[in-house]
Structures are given as structure tokens and as C-alpha cells.
Structure 1
């Protein structure tokens, strides 16, 4: 293998490694850090509760922001909650909870920064943590 081919191969490897590293920077709630976060939905009596939740193997602290745009036949609402949080290790922590009409069309954005790392937690959690 010539030097120019070897250099090209090394450069390609470095580029692929950089792409892989940056792909996880704005992760979706589960990362190598072990942090799990997302929205837990429960329905009861014609209402739906949305809980912004985090679980981490280590104690974490930071800030969160939850916004919900909800629309139904009865009208619409825009809800925004944010603040600082501290979550203990291995303990499910609800950072915010909102109740909307069941069946409403809701757009949820839940983002947090924990120990300096940003997470997009807008996805629904399939299982309760």
C-alpha cells in the first residue's frame, strides 16, 4: 500500500470517527452516559397526563424545558415549563407534569441539559422507567 493510499485511508477513518462522535451529541434520551429521559403518558377519565421524566445511573443536575402545544375540538393551549433539577442515581424523577384532554393533538418538546450535556427527550417512553 503506498503512502498516499494509506494517508487517504487514515483520513477517511478520522472523518468517519468524527461523524460518529457528533451524531451522538444531541442524543435522544439514551446515551453512553446511561441517562434515559422522555415523556410518560397515562390516560384516565377522558384526560391524558404527560410526565417529563429522567432516570440516570448517576446523580445528575441541570436544567429542563418542556413545551406542549395541544389542540382539540374544545380549543387549544400552549404550555411551557422550565427550571433547574436534581435527580438522584437510579431513581425515576418527574421534572414536570401536564394534563391535557385525551384525544387532543399534542406536540411535545422536552429538552434538558444534565451535567453539561444536552438531551432531546421529546420521544414517548414505551415503558415506564
Structure 2
């Protein structure tokens, strides 16, 4: 399996990511400093927030994952409305997000959807079952 590396400099920190063709995330992440052993010195949250993990040769699943995240944003927008209900548009958006997560080969898509949506996996599953009843999932 072929791999590629990316390097990013953030202040005195060097971030090296090793990427394989197997997925959209690095298989290795190394963060080193040119000031080792300095008293009270450690990596901060602000440095970690600056780390950009951009695959040098994105696999095909990356576009599928982007589609899934876009679909989840639409569902979250429906859920953030004051009078949120199980209307057809919401259920279609939820089904679209579920299918997009499945197309991106995400393991346990309902559980992963709950990380992005303000509800637990059981509520998502219940809503998907309602979508099945209404004929939005074959």
C-alpha cells in the first residue's frame, strides 16, 4: 500500500502526517518540537486547533464523506428550527444523510450521525423507521 506524507510548521512545532490509500484520515500523526525538555513547555489547544489534516491524494471516499457531512448540516438545520417536527422534508433529509454516510462506508452510521446531530442514536433510528413507514427508504 502506497503512503504519502504532509508536513506543517506551527511555531516551534512540526506536524507530520502519514497517509495511506486506505482512508480519509492519517494512519500516523507525529507532533514534535525544536524545544524539547523546556520546563513547563507543552502543546497547547491553540496549536492543536491550527493543525490542518489535508490528504495529499484524497481517496474516493473523501467526496462521499463530504456529501455525508453536507447532508448532516441540512438535517441539523431542520432540527434547529423552533417548530421542529417529523415532516416529510426533514425525513427525506435524514434518509439522505443516512444513505450518504453508508455510501462513505462509515461503520455504524446511525451512531456516527448522533455525533453531529443534537439527538441520540435511538431517536435517529426512530425517525428513520418513520421514514420507512412513509416510503422514503426502500
Q: Same fold (TM over 0.5)?
A: no
TM bucket normalised to smaller: under 0.3
Q: Which has the higher helix share?
A: 2
Give the TM-score, by structure 1 length: 0.25
Q: Which has the higher strand share?
A: 1
Using CA pairs under 8 Å that are at least 6 residues apart, name the structure with larger relative contact order, 1 or 2.
1
